[in-house]
Structure 1
């Protein structure tokens, strides 16, 4: 998010594109054949690009993920993201430029989201600086950022009904909250506080509090002190099964604003959702690198 709070960006590299209808229709047996760099910019002139690409577009090494024309590279100090994507409807245009994430510190935390470890959350750098330099007017800014990863061996909708996640910068670092309802009826309720040195500790967080549903009526909730109702301060992504936004809440007396997401896996599991997604997620099977 930008320091002024009016702009934000998210970039996700997928091997096995979780929310790709093409990956789901394929049976999810070949993740490398459904890879993607998803970029979304939020604020004036915001764009959304998510192209499902075939295995010819994928290159990986110990420090680099490249998918077609875009790449993420860890140089030992920073995550440098070079983008060259085409945004989808309603406004088709190029999303091109560089984003740099500079962690305040790296963590050693891994959190299993299911008891058998089929889904893992890895928050590499919950507290970071971000520099955005895109080839669009007004899209050169800096602010606070975040860098994590998720790993899974089963479809999300097989194991979860609903989850919410939030990353809230604090005076001493950042607090991340993961709340989920699993298919077996159990729940995940975790709050982890990270300091600027990357040290992590499980903390008690105030109760879940519901707040206004998204435009698609996705249920939303996060933690908040008694008497406080969280509120959206910047709308980001609003989909039939998913909502991402900047949310203000109060945690243990501190007013914080961070990125929040709500994911309704019951909705996502509906076969009606996949054709809708195909309009936003084009499939490009072939790719040739210039040096090939």
Structure 2
């Protein structure tokens, strides 16, 4: 079965996960960094056409294959569209050997207790059914930690695991992403609390079930080694969190067994104005560097 092959690749693949899942709020910034200013489009539909063109250009580039890019996280609208003449998830797996994931969260609630929880996800059941039908392997869901607040972090992780249960019930693999903001003064303390809360929730998972974790590169190298070794964790991936690519790669290389799941750090230096040759070369360079840091 395809899902068994995908699981094997996620568990043992030597590479990283590309995050191609900028949502409505972050799309203008992603396009601007790609050299497409806001005056280039006059509606949200046009904006999403442009970001889809960028994602398709990345996904069809020669270097974007399962040899180094073992998975990719898609925005819902990307799942619903085509790349290379096929549904996006099908194209990624069949033509590129890249395992497809779907971002399912609907953004963040207002800050409370030092965290921003996920907004409710209306129509979650139907969305997960569509993901299964589209050949998606797993999901990704992001919340944020802005302070070393034990109450807030406990709530944040509990919400993540509640959603993970719903995802697992559909036969999908959840990527739990409680992002610790890199600029906070008590980042290291927040990460210690987060580690303990994740361990507590992992121990409550039924035998035989596994999740993936997407975590901010920790201040203390190898802090998350116990999670990487945990039998209920398929893989631990790192988010770049606003670090520039070189710094993100350097931090990643310090964390044995952690692989990248970078968004901005992957597309840094790519431009709509580049020729295909220049674009493909820049992307290949980025993929090589992130891959090298991921397998360290």
Question: Which category of TM-score, normalised to the shorter sequence, fits these structures?
Answer: 0.3 to 0.5
User: Relative to total residues, which structure has the larger helix share, 1 or 2?
Assistant: 2
Instruction: Give the TM-score, by structure 1 length.
Output: 0.37
> Which of structures 1 and 2 has the larger relative contact order (alpha carbons within 8 angstroms, sep 6+)?
2
Instruction: Give the TM-score, by structure 2 length.
Output: 0.36
User: Relative to total residues, which structure has the larger strand share, 1 or 2?
Assistant: 1
